[in-house]
Amino acid sequence: MRVVVAGAGALGSVLGGHFALSGEDVTLIGRPAHVEVIRARGLHIDGVRGPHLVRTLRAVADPREVEAADVLILCVKSQDTPGAS
């Protein structure tokens, strides 16, 4: 399943990271600075399920880089919703 998370902030990154850890093909769409950190160092998740380093996902800043998705999860703040469409 190809999962795309639009809004790779705190919640979107955790959701996308756990989808990737369970074997799904995940692309995160986020702000350029966050995307660069994920590309360089992987996605670090730390919480009640313990620490994880996720390197099996893709991160992009430009939504036009996403070709297709089976599932789209919109995780942006309400004021950013118009720009996410």
Structural contact between residues 73 and 11, judged by C-beta atoms closer than 8 angstroms: no
Give dist(CA 12, CA 8) in Å, integer. 5
Structural domain includes residue 65: yes
Confidence of residue 78 (pLDDT cuts 50, 70, 90): confident
**At residue 58, does pLDDT exceed 90?**
yes
Q: How many domains does the chain have?
A: 1
Does 84 reside within a domain?
no
Q: Is residue 69 part of a domain?
A: yes
On whether residue 10 sits in a domain, the answer given is yes
Sign of CA dihedral 46, 62, 2, 78: positive
Looking at the domain assignment, is residue 85 inside a domain? no
Distance of CA 17 to the CA centre of its chain: 7
* Range of the structural domain that residue 20 is part of: 2-75
Tell me if 80 is assigned to some domain: no
CATH number at residue 32: 3.40.50.720
Q: What is the mean pLDDT of the segment spanning 58-72?
A: 95
Q: Average the pLDDT over 64-85 and give the result.
A: 84
Asked whether residue 82 is assigned to any structural domain, the reply reads no
Q: pLDDT (tens digit, 9 = 90+) per residue, 20-54?
A: 999 999 999 999 999 999 999 999 999 888 999 99
